[in-house]
A and B are shown apart, each in its own frame.
Chain A
């Protein structure tokens, strides 16, 4: 019953080397596997951001670059067009609650598993597959003076309320917003539906046994569980509002009438490729980036705060 037998050791104990061969190999392979991704993202995303910052201080028509300096920025902030664009972006953000609320409702309805819900689900998701260009074209037809909206109104007997939304300065943006909400319904519904699917049934059942009504269950059990998903949907929707909207604008209004539907993402294109002011366009691009980065960071803070 002795503790250990003495050793017939073949070598005297010595310090083992710090890192094992296996660990070294793992690290090496790890680095090599990541290099292509790093190169791709670094060269084509990170590097251009730096360049954009540089270009934002220049006046550049595509042929000659001329360094100007910080005055390009002060000029930009005095440019009413830019403020119009920002204002348009801000106003479009009013559509975000709808772009979140409607999908939430739809997801909850789907979650009830009423007869044929799988078919409904497929139908609701279908528009996510088609391009915003296509949606924009159909929307343009819908809102046009001779389009579907007006003929619907006529059918209901409201022919006096005919509109020409895309031709009116203060209405075009609303039409755009409605189309934007439509485009986001599919993706966000998908997101929320999955969130609901991960919700533990037994929680709901326990609550019902305790006597909670449908609304209370929704408020105190369903919504808190979905908060992560809602946050993700929020970030994705806002980022879309600042970038993906381009296709809709291009096809539906071309930024007009006037500048009433020109948002920052469209302005970048217009300033750069229609007006050949690449320096200014780069500048607007940077502003766009700062805005989306801020949204992302704020959101991360909120998520981080909740988790801790």
Chain B
């Protein structure tokens, strides 16, 4: 439904151009309204966090008191650190495993490869809640529940199927000739992966990193169960815990929300284009 611009050559054409302009203005207005709706959460968070609880209840005034006191109610720095560590470790595992498997599925045909690929990709369909209970028990048995490792391993397993799918689609685009040139030049397939394919895969790596970062940083359920120790809590879980205690002040919750949301938003803004590319890479096979 894109609108091509043409130069009017007669009265009826001029009329349709006016109609078109009106249409575009209407669209602009609609989009502005939409933007206001979408920005609403951020506006709310900012406005309310700059009030004290008392001011909030009245609906008037602003202050930075909540922000100054945030650290006493919410171990912000500790939790931010926990979130960072968990994200970094999980993403590192996902990337290494994903690149290896993705390259193999894309370029190294072996017996049964297609079946394994389907199996791993279909794991995307498994909702966390279905495996949650046994998962928790298994991890608890190995003593990793109050340790970053338990959550990291679960996040890695949950994020791997989609990432492998992305990497496979991406590596498929590498021309076979390029790999053959490497073979003739003297590389083994292992060398082809790390010296030829990997440098070409930087966009895919960026995409996976952004997508998984947002996914893991913003996750509640896994963190809730696998990082129960307040020392290891992620910021998102910390926020939810804060909310669950019903005596908390709303401005505090909003401030906590902003803290929790900020890193993910920054990552998003920096890596915007990779996000779009990544989500749709699976579509044009």
Across chains A and B, the number of contacting residue pairs, with CB separation under 8 Å, is 292
Given contacts A128-B214, A138-B45, A191-B279, contact A37 B101 (CB under 8 A): yes
**For residue B138, which residue of chain A has the nearest CB?**
A48
Which residues of chain A are within 8 angstroms of B137 by Cβ–Cβ distance?
51, 278
Which residues of chain A are within 8 angstroms of B136 by Cβ–Cβ distance?
272
Partner of A34, one of B31, B116, B244, B268: B116
Which residues of chain A are within 8 angstroms of B272 by Cβ–Cβ distance?
122, 125
B residues 135-157 in Cβ contact with A at 8 Å: 135-138, 153-154, 156-157
Given contacts A37-B97, A247-B221, A292-B127, contact A55 B268 (CB under 8 A): no
Q: Is the CB of A185 within 8 A of B135?
A: no
Given contacts A129-B261, A133-B220, A135-B41, contact A281 B284 (CB under 8 A): no
Asked if B227 is at the interface (CB within 8 A of a chain A CB), the reply is no
Asked if B253 is at the interface (CB within 8 A of a chain A CB), the reply is yes
B residues 110-125 in Cβ contact with A at 8 Å: 110-111, 113, 116, 119-120, 122-123, 125
Which residues of chain B are within 8 angstroms of A126 by Cβ–Cβ distance?
38-39, 42, 265, 268-269
Interface size class of A (residues with CB under 8 A): 35 or more
**For residue A265, which residue of chain B has the nearest CB?**
B129
Task: Give the distance in Å from the alpha carbon of A268 to the alpha carbon of B127 in the complex.
Answer: 11
Q: Which of B7-15, B67-75, B198-206, B235-243 contacts A (4 or more CB under 8 A)?
A: B235-243
Asked if A269 is at the interface (CB within 8 A of a chain B CB), the reply is yes
Given contacts A34-B116, A40-B97, A194-B280, contact A129 B265 (CB under 8 A): yes
Q: Is the CB of A232 within 8 A of B220?
A: no
Task: Give the distance in Å from the alpha carbon of A255 to the alpha carbon of B224 in the complex.
Answer: 16
Given contacts A48-B138, A114-B28, A123-B35, contact A247 B220 (CB under 8 A): yes
Q: Is the CB of B44 within 8 A of A246?
A: no
Chain B interface residue count, Cβ-Cβ cutoff 8 angstroms: 97
Partner of A109, one of B31, B217, B269, B283: B31
Q: Is the CB of A268 within 8 A of B132?
A: yes
Asked if A305 is at the interface (CB within 8 A of a chain B CB), the reply is no
Q: Is the CB of B261 within 8 A of A123?
A: no
Q: Is the CB of B35 within 8 A of A120?
A: yes
Which residues of chain B are within 8 angstroms of A111 by Cβ–Cβ distance?
1-2
Indicate with 1 or 0, residue by residue over A242-267, a CB within 8 angstroms of chain B CB atoms.
Answer: 11001100110010000000001100
Task: Give the distance in Å from the alpha carbon of A223 to the alpha carbon of B109 in the complex.
Answer: 37
Which residues of chain A are within 8 angstroms of B189 by Cβ–Cβ distance?
25-26, 29-30
Task: Give the distance in Å from the alpha carbon of A29 to the alpha carbon of B45 in the complex.
Answer: 51
**For residue B243, which residue of chain A has the nearest CB?**
A251
Which residues of chain A are within 8 angstroms of B30 by Cβ–Cβ distance?
109
Asked if A288 is at the interface (CB within 8 A of a chain B CB), the reply is yes
Task: Give the distance in Å from the alpha carbon of A129 to the alpha carbon of B261 in the complex.
Answer: 8
- Nearest CB on A from B273, distance (A): 11
Q: Is the CB of B260 within 8 A of A292?
A: no
A-B contact pairs, 21 of them (CB 8 A): A27-B108, A33-B101, A34-B113, A40-B160, A48-B134, A55-B134, A123-B38, A124-B38, A129-B267, A134-B41, A142-B44, A194-B283, A205-B4, A228-B283, A232-B283, A242-B127, A246-B221, A268-B132, A282-B134, A285-B133, A292-B127
Closest 3 CB pairs of A and B: A30-B108, A131-B218, A44-B157
Binding site for B on A (CB under 8 A): 22, 25-31, 33-34, 36-38, 40-41, 43-49, 51-52, 55, 106, 108-117, 120, 122-135, 137-138, 140-142, 148, 182, 185-187, 190-191, 193-195, 198, 201, 204-205, 208, 214, 217-218, 222, 228-229, 232, 239, 242-243, 246-247, 250-251, 254, 264-265, 268-269, 272-273, 278, 281-282, 284-286, 288-289, 292-293, 296
